[in-house]
Each structure stands twice: as structure tokens, then as C-alpha cells.
Chain A
Amino acid sequence: MIAPLRFIAFVGSFARGWAGKGRAFVLGTRHYTQLAVQTTARVPLIVKNLDITTKHMYTLGIESIPLVTMIALFLGSATVTQAVYQMSGMIPLRYLGALVCKTTVTELGPVITSMVFAGRVATGIAAEIASMKGSEQLDAMNVLRLDPIRYLIVPKMVACVVMLPVLTIWAILMAFVGSAITVAISVDVTMYTYLDGMRLFFNPWDVYMGVGKTTVFGAIVAITGAYFGLTAKGGAEGVGNATTKAVVVSAVLILIFDFIVAVMVM
């Protein structure tokens, strides 16, 4: 084949490949949105399945506490250490508490907790639903006229929406504990000065905003996990792919929504 024709063929195949990917992205976004709408519309039916929801609250929320505690303690310590390094020689250390409080309450606490939660929960939801699909349990539910969205996804989403803010509040408190321990051990600031600094610019609105946005992060984690579980194909490999995609897309969506909230608040 002569060179120009080869070039045109290359451009054509390249464009076709990207058009296919674009189409898949648009269709995927459509299905994801449909799933989110259908799940939200079925939330009032949760009253019939409160037992399943409570069980999920325990497995998805309470069982995440050890992991969240560990990460929050080190998050607080790392924040203090970084803040001291950045402030030294420029900003008086009496403002250390204020800086740690603001960053932990508005950004680090909610976002890091949600990321950790996504890593644990979105993967679990995706793997559970994908393996149920592989073993025909979803088909069995359809045949028995049991709506899989209502019985599988809604309880998980409600559990995530309720428990992620609770975990976030716990994580913020633990980050404060971690930061206080670090201040006591390695920073040349008294505990009184540090705590006074925390109170200095404290605004309850920061807590409402920081914790409030995690309700949406909880819904994102549950629906993303469910979406990739429902669309999984091909046995064990499909389950693996679904879990990977679930955690990656959850993290990306959490950050995008976090940015939107930040812009709206400003």
C-alpha cells in the first residue's frame, strides 16, 4: 500500500478506536446515572429491609473503624509534622493548631476517610455483586421477582450514606489525637498553645460542610461498586477487573465532587 493510503488507514483506525471508546464512555455514564436514579428512587422501600441495612451498617461501617483509626492517627501526625516544617521561620507556631484543624476538618479528614472507605467497601460491593452475577444469583432474584436493586444495592447505599459521615467524624477526632500526641512528643509548642490555636479560627460550618459532603461520597462508593459488579464479565478475572475499576472510579468521582463542593463553598 502506498504511503498516503497507509496514513489514511492509520488515521481511520485510530479515529474508529477512539470513537468506540467515546461511545462506551457515554453509554457507561448513562447506565451509571440510570442505576443511581433507580437506586435513589427505591430508598423509601428500605423500611421493609431495615434488618439487611443494619447488618450492612455493621459490616461496612463499624468493621471499618480499626482501619480508619489507624490511618487517621498517622494522618494527624503527618499533618502536624508537615505544618511545622512549612511554618518554621515564617508563621508563628501558635497558629499550628488552626492550620491542622482547618485542613483536617474541611479536606483531609473527609477525603482520606472516603478514599480508605472506597478501597475497602467499593471493592467488596463490586466483588460480591460480580460473583453473584457469575453464579446466576442475580438471575435467580429476577426469576423470583425479587428486585436486585432494592434488595442488594439500596441497603448498601443507605448503610454507606449513614456510616461514612460517622466514620469521618471519628477519623477527624482520631487525627486530632494523633496530632496532639505528635505535638506533645516532638514539637516545641505547649499543648495549651496548640489547642488554643485549634479554637482560634474554628467555624462549625467547616464541620457541617466537611462531614456533609461525605454523605454524597458514601452514595458514590456504593453505586460505583454496584455498577462495576453488575457490569462484570468473565469469571474470576471479571471480578478482579470490577473491583479495580470500582476503587479507581470511586476515588476519581470523590475528588471531582470534592472540587465541586469547594468551588460552591467559595
Chain B
Amino acid sequence: MLKVEHLKKRFGNHVVLNDINITIGKGEVFCIIGQSGSGKTVLFRHIIGLLFPDGGRILLDNEVISSPTTKPADFDKVRKRFGILFQGAALFDSMNVGENLAFPLREHTKMTEKEISKLIAESLEMVGLKEEFKTKMPSELSGGMRSRVGLARGLVMKPEIMLYDEPTSALDPIMTDKINDLILSLRDKLRMTSIIITHDMASAYKIADKMAMIQDGKIIFHGTPGEIRESRNPYIQQFIRGQKKHHYAIADEDAYAVPINISKVKPRAVGPRRPVPAPSTENAAAAPSDMANKKFQMPVRPGGQNNQ
């Protein structure tokens, strides 16, 4: 079980994470959602030990793995328990697919080349790629294939927890669905915990057992996909529906992290929109608008004359 307790992080004067608390159960698919710049990637980087908190701690199976006093070398002991799929897959450009997958195996295990080759083939198969792909260079792969190879590289060390950083953000809808299916099948086959950073709600609904939502460095929701749909927080509703404006009035605004001025919130108009009357030609000619004056008339100096 992974627990994040009272996590705080600031860069200079800017507080990026403010008292983050989440609990992720074993074998769960946990989605962290939020707008761009809300702090979800910073939280992700804390979980994988690329950043360390200013306050709070992260526990894995009740053992503190990250705190303000943790050093990067200390985190290396638990790093092998994590597998990562980065946003653009982060494949090593100078190596082909096979070498990308073999690199960690050659450095951290005493496996023979034959065993490594077999494991690479298994990992590629697990993500739906043929063994022939291992000779391809990353530059020859499409976005979806790069994601799959990145996933295979994450899986090759047999991690307990797999983290995905916006795995579908650069993919088309069909490939997005394939990657989502892949995440679910890996959960079912390998029983691994999956943590997914995303702002793609369709994917989150499909794959998440639980989800948390971050806004301005704070967790404003922690629950199941069903619960988030029923949330009465206007910001959450706005986010999950992908709407530009708030449409939902709430009874008790103090109960939510996002303040909203109820007096300014109007219910959505029901029925056909009232047509805007066209200005009559007579009136328009008689009284030109201010904008028209501003556009075409020269500015007048206090003396009353144009000084050209």
C-alpha cells in the first residue's frame, strides 16, 4: 500500500503541493487528475523519487521511502519496485528497442544474453508488439508504439507499482483505448498497482478503481469514479465535463475548496435561445456606436482641434 501523508513542496515562493494526503491500495488502478499546472506531475515525481518533499512523507508498505531528509541514494533501494511510463515514453534515442529494454537488465541482473532476449520478447508480447520490433530505432516508431515500448521497458524489471505519466495525452482515440485496455490487462495479469496521471476523463472513468483530483496543489477529491460523477463541487463538475464556465450552483460554498459567488451563477437557460434582435438601419445611421466613433475619428486635443 502506498500512502502520501501531508506532502508539501514549494519552488521559491510558489507552493506547488500543499498538504497532499492520498492512499493507494495494492492492486488498485489509481488516477490522479487535474488541470495542467495543478501539481499532479510534481506529485508524480515525488512518488518516483525524482523530487523530495519539503514536508510530509511517502510510505510504501508502512515504510517511509520519501521525506525531507531522504537522499536520492536512499531512494534507490525502493526504486526497483517502481516501473514508469513517461509522457513521451522517454526511450533512449541512441539505442534500438531491444537495447532500450535490455539496458536495465544488463546492468542490474546477472542474466545471460539468452535469458535477456527471452524476457524482452515476453515483455514486447505483453504490450502487443512482435519480437521483430526489437531492432527498430525509437525514431521509426509511432506515438502509440513508443508508448507500448516505454511500457514494456517499465515492465521488464517486474515492478510492483507501475506509474503512468499522461500515457494517452498524445495519442488518437483508438490508440488511447488500446493503451487503456493494456493497462487493465496488465493489472489483471500481473496484479500490479497502477498510478496514472491524466486529464483525460474518458480514460480515467474506464480504468480507474479510485481517483484523486488536485487543484492548486491541494487534493479536492478522493474517491471512486462513481463518486466524482456525483460530486456537487462546481469546479469538479466543470473539469469532468470539460466545460468552460461554472453551470452548477451549490448550497454551501464553504464546503468546497473553490469559492464561487452564488449571486453570479445563473442556471442554464432551458429551451431555445432567444434570438438577438438585429439593429434597425434607421437607428444605426442616426446614432453611430461609440466603437465606430473611436475607430474612425481622430483624437481631439483639449484645445478642440486636431493637431496633425
Contact = CB atoms under 8 A, between A and B. Distances in A.
B108 A140 contact: no
Contacts of B79: 143, 145
Contact of A137 (B45, B82, B93, B104): B93
A132, A140, A142, A144: most-surrounded residue (chain B CB, <10 A): A144
A146 B104 contact: yes
Given A145-B79, A145-B80, A145-B108, A136 B90 contact: yes
A63 interface: no
A234 to B, nearest CB: 15
A139 B108 contact: no
Interface string A122-136: 000000000010011
Size bracket, chain B contacts: 20 to 34
Nearest to B87: A136
Contact of B50 (A137, A142, A144, A145): A142
Given A145-B79, A146-B103, A140 B92 contact: yes
Nearest to B157: A144
B88 A135 contact: yes
Nearest to B150: A140
B80 A137 contact: no
Contacts, number: 44
A136 B41 CA distance: 13
Contact of A146 (B50, B86, B88, B107): B107
Nearest to B76: A145
A80 to B, nearest CB: 43
Contacts of A145: 76, 79-80, 104, 107-108
Nearest to B100: A140
A136 B108 CA distance: 21
A131 to B, nearest CB: 8
B304 to A, nearest CB: 36
A132 B108 CA distance: 22
A139 B91 CA distance: 11
Given A143-B50, A145-B76, A137 B92 contact: yes
Contacts of B103: 144, 146
A146 B104 CA distance: 7
Contacts of A137: 90-93
B88 A136 contact: yes
Contacts of A140: 84, 86, 90-92
B137 to A, nearest CB: 14
With a 10 A CB-CB cut-off, give which of B49, B88, B90, B93 has the most chain A CB atoms.
B90
Nearest to A55: B94
B228 interface: no
Contacts of B86: 136, 139-140
A143 B76 CA distance: 8
B48 interface: yes
Contacts of B91: 137, 140
B164 to A, nearest CB: 13
A136 B107 CA distance: 20
A135 B50 contact: no
Interface string B63-98: 000000000100010011010101110111100000
Interface of A: 132, 135-137, 139-146
9 contacts: A135-B88, A136-B86, A136-B90, A137-B93, A140-B86, A142-B72, A143-B84, A144-B103, A146-B103
Task: Please list the 3 inter-chain residue pairs (A to B) with the smallest Cβ-Cβ separation, ordered nearest first.
Answer: A140-B90, A136-B90, A144-B104
